Amino acid sequence: MAKTTRITYRCSFCGKEQNEVQRLIAGPGGVYVCDECTHAFTEVLANAESALALPAHTRVLTAADPYKEKVGGLVRCSFCGKSREQVNAMIAGPGGVHICNECVDLCLQIIEEERNPAAHGHAEQTHAPSSADGVRKHLLDVDDWSASEIGALFARADAMGAALARPETKLDTLRGKVMVNLFYENSTRTRVSFELAGKKLGADVTNVTASASSVTKGESLIDTVRTLQALGARIVVVRSSQAGAPDLIARHIDGSVLNAGDGWHAHPTQALLDLYTIVRRLGPVRGRRIVILGDILHSRVARSNIWTLTAMGATVVLCGPPTLLPPAAADLYAARPVPGTDARREVIVEPHIERALEGADVVMALRLQRERQQAGLLPSIREYSAVWGLTPERLKLANPGALVLHPGPMNEGVEIDPAVAYGDASVIEEQVTNGVAIRMAALELVAGADQKRGE
């Protein structure tokens, strides 16, 4: 077969080909800028009068230009990904390419250095700045959290716990900031927990309980979020029945988004508080056997817990009716090592409850929704309870001193026997208490990112 590849690269701003210019510098995703444009941009950024030197369809954005694209969120530099608010100036080229003043400077440096090769080595590719500098803008998922990041958050949660022990004092981490709890699904404990956490940190907290029907009435999530932003919201805590809703919001808001549960996808603060509760009782979880029991398929709590527990080195056993286990789970987690390491995540799928509980250090029971029976996934709630219910007898199969967790709300007598729920092994109430400290630490984390943006 004849090789037909003859690839021409063009400057994304003036359209000139590689051989028509001295130098073409590549950004990510196929954007390029040539030396001529770099010089023109440097000139125009230094002196607005020289605007005539710019190629057609290229200009410096002014305050009158929108900060957001019609599609796809904020106007961002195509080279480093920064938004307009993060840089001093942005130049727009044809077809939606942008370059910020910082990248123009960097490109100029590269060109200058090449003229004077003694100065530095080559730096052809620009790189987006890393976000792993101890702050996170959003808390959407925990699949990319490392053990050290979790450890750092827990240290802050300890401090927050100490602050909570002094009810008369308020912290000023979020003072003057508007935090909105946007809940599209009913929730008592998560909403109240976030509300208390925000108030303790000094935020102005507002609750918006939007019924799911407002979506079908044509009010889109994006509209709602833009409205909240226009009203000054800097932090949005969202609960939605739709997986990915927090990601969508994060693309349309300048402030921070915390996921308080989205569909079957994730419930990051729940997983963090579960792990925190376990660690405070049992110490490090590395090598421990932790059973998640019940309807894993539909559970965001289970999904998030798997990431955090395995990041800390625990072995997670997923146990439940075969129809309620998620597809390809073992392969999924095996394929995604803990960030920053090549440590394999240990996840075992075991439908037999007795085998699963054997040697367990922690058992986390999940709520069983009654509609699973109508959906043809279960013969009956009664049978489920008989086969997979967590009873005192079954708990004896676990290691002595094993803990029992439940994210609530419980169906007593279905997935968990009241004798277990209120027994010595249960730490269910501690989970709720710890939730406030963990959520304070999470809010502080994103507030740190907000602070950095403001600097």
Partner 1 sequence: MREPQEYAAIILAGSRILDPSQGMDGSGALLIVDGRIAAIGSEQDVEAKLSELDIGPEQRMTLRQPAGSVIAPGFVDLHAHLRQPGFEAKETIATGAEAAARGGFTTICCMPNTQPVIDSRATLEYVLRAAENAPVRIGPIAAISKGEDGHELSEMVELAQAGVVAFSDDGRPVASSKLMRSALEYAAPLGLPVVEHCQDEDLVGGGVMHEGQISTLLGLKGWPAEGEEVMLARDLALVRLTGAKYHAAHLSTAGAVELVRQAKREGLPVTAEVTPHHLLLTDAWVAGERTGPLADALAEIGVPVLPGERYDTDTKVNPPLRTAKDCAALLAGLRDGTIDAIATDHAPHTLTDKACEYGEAAFGISGLETALASLLALVHVERLDLATLVAALTVRPARAWNLDAGTLKVGAHADITVFDPNEAWVVDPARFASKGKNTPLTGLTLHGRVRQTWLGGKLVYAAGN
The 378-417 site mask, x for binding partner 1 (CB under 8 A), equals ----------------------------------------
Closest separation in Å from C-beta 101 to partner 1: 22
Amino acid occupying residue 267: H
Residue 70 within binding range of partner 1, rule CB under 8 A: yes
Closest separation in Å from C-beta 299 to partner 1: 9
Span near partner 1 by CB under 8 A; candidates 213-221, 227-235, 337-345, 434-442:
213-221
Could you tell me the CA-to-CA distances from 205 to 174, 175, 201, 237, 253 in Å, in that order? 10, 11, 10, 10, 17
Q: Which of 54, 57, 59, 10 is nearest to 30 (CA)?
A: 10
The 324-363 site mask, x for binding partner 1 (CB under 8 A), equals --xxxx-xx--x----------------------------
Please give the backbone phi and psi of residue 264, each rounded to the nearest 5 degrees, phi first. -95, 5
List the one residue from 265, 367, 406, 439 that touches partner 1 (CB under 8 A): 265
Residue 301 within binding range of partner 1, rule CB under 8 A: no
Residue 1 within binding range of partner 1, rule CB under 8 A: yes
- Long-range contact pairs involving 127-132 (C-beta distance under 8 Å, separation at least 24): 127/80, 128/28, 128/80, 128/81, 129/80, 129/81, 129/82
Angle (nearest 5°) at CA 301 between 218 and 143 = 90
Span near partner 1 by CB under 8 A; candidates 58-66, 91-99, 112-120, 348-356:
91-99
What CA–CA distance (Å, rounded) separates 380 from 384? Answer: 6
Span near partner 1 by CB under 8 A; candidates 101-109, 200-208, 259-267, 412-420:
259-267
Amino acid occupying residue 36: E
List the one residue from 4, 116, 188, 213 that touches partner 1 (CB under 8 A): 4
**Residues of span 124-153 touching partner 1 by CB under 8 A:** 125, 140, 143
Residue 96 or 313 having the CB closest to partner 1: 96
Closest separation in Å from C-beta 373 to partner 1: 16
Structure tokens at 422: 């209120």
Residue 251 within binding range of partner 1, rule CB under 8 A: yes
Which stretches of the chain bind partner 1, using CB under 8 A? 1-10, 12, 26, 28-31, 70-72, 95-97, 125, 140, 143, 215, 220-222, 240, 242-245, 247-248, 251, 262-266, 300, 303, 326-329, 331-332, 335
